Amino acid sequence: MVRGPLTTATFFSPVQESLRLVERRMRAQSDGHHPDLAAALKHLLSSGGKRVRPAVALLTGGMLGADRDRLVTLSAAIELLHTATLVHDDLIDGALLRRGIPTLNARWTPASTVLAGDFIFARAAKLASETDSVEVMRLFAETLSTIVNGEITQMFSSQEITCRDDYYERIYAKTASMFVLATTAAAVLSPVDEDVIEALRTFGYEIGMAFQVVDDVLDFTGEQATVGKPVASDLRQGLITLPTIIYMESHPDDPDVAYLKDGSYYNETRLNRLIPAIRESGAIEEALYAARQFVDRGLEALAELALPLTAERQALEDLASYIVSRHR
């Protein structure tokens, strides 16, 4: 099922023109507002996001025959919602760089960063309303609730996550929920039945889960020079992800595992033992296998619909496969 690495261009090509319209639509959202908001939006949109979520929405809707204008509006809404959550996330985490570019909070005060995020939420909601679909609005608002609830849960959990179910719940809230929004809302805007919408919801869920698992794997395998942050930066910050969970499952007697379960203080010596141990344990491969299973289930849901093999459907399948084969 998994093909070799694909350049993004392959599956972006059927929606390249639409993606340009999405970009323009997003940038226009500061028109008529304070110039500093325009500058902030421009900075955020220039910082090299891959636009995977809008591409998923555009391809899904394109495959199912939705109106292009409404899809462009929806896709712009989704990417701005994603952008707004990143603005508040980076503020909360005190992150100074994202994709090698200064975050908004690195340049602005916390107060103005909060407001900039709120403004982008507002514009995302405005765009969502312009799809003229109450159901899209509902999905949109529900997704934001899910994402924020996930972050609050993570913040207030006294116990570290050390089992797969909790991990999957967390990455659903954090990442897959937005992919579900992209595919489901695009299907809602298409002339299709409820079962098609349901299948696309599944597809979005599965590829979204795979996307985050692979992201978490890349945090372990990426070289510092490429990724721009130290290897296993998640674990170093106390965030336990799938490779670590798998290692913990298979090494219950490792004293460093007990330390992780303890969720106690940062211990450099233990981390410097644990990180290479995880990397060499086969946990990476097992996590990637889990990601592949997610993608396969997604592709299966799509295949069951027996849709004509349009360029969009092919691109969507390629994109799903790319998610597990990609490098950062």
Query: For a copy of itself, which is the closer residue by CB, 1 or 96?
Result: 96
Q: Output the six-digit token pair for 238.
A: 């106390």
User: CA nearest 140: which of 69, 188, 193, 172?
Assistant: 188
Over its C-alpha atoms, the chain yields an Rg (Å, rounded) of 20
Query: For a copy of itself, which is the closer residue by CB, 15 or 173?
Result: 173
Binding mask 39-78 for a copy of itself (x = CB under 8 A): ----------------------------------------
Binding piece for a copy of itself, criterion CB under 8 A, among 10-18, 33-41, 253-261, 319-327: 33-41
Binding piece for a copy of itself, criterion CB under 8 A, among 127-135, 182-190, 221-229, 308-316: 127-135
Among 20, 24, 126, 327, binds a copy of itself (CB under 8 A): 126
Binding piece for a copy of itself, criterion CB under 8 A, among 131-139, 162-170, 215-223, 230-238: 131-139
Site for a copy of itself in 86-115 (CB under 8 A): 88, 91-92, 110-112, 114-115
Q: Is 253 helix (H, G, I), strand (E, B) or coil?
A: coil
Query: For a copy of itself, which is the closer residue by CB, 85 or 321?
Result: 85
Looking at the DSSP bridge assignments, the partners of residue 102 are 97
Produce one character per residue of 253-291: b if its CB has 16 or more CB atoms within 10 Å, e if not: ebebbebbeeeeeeeeeeeeebbeebbebebbebbbebb
Q: Cβ-count burial of 106 within 10 angstroms (0-12 exposed, 13-18 middle, 19+ buried)?
A: middle
Site for a copy of itself in 145-184 (CB under 8 A): 145, 148-149, 151-153, 155-156
Q: DSSP of 207-244, one letter per residue?
A: HHHHHHHHHHHHHHHS-HHHHSS-TTHHHHTT---HHH
Contact, 48 vs 91, CB < 8 A? no
Contacts with a copy of itself, residue ranges (CB under 8 A): 33-34, 36-37, 85, 88, 91-92, 110-112, 114-119, 121-123, 125-126, 128-130, 132-134, 137-138, 140-142, 144-145, 148-149, 151-153, 155-156
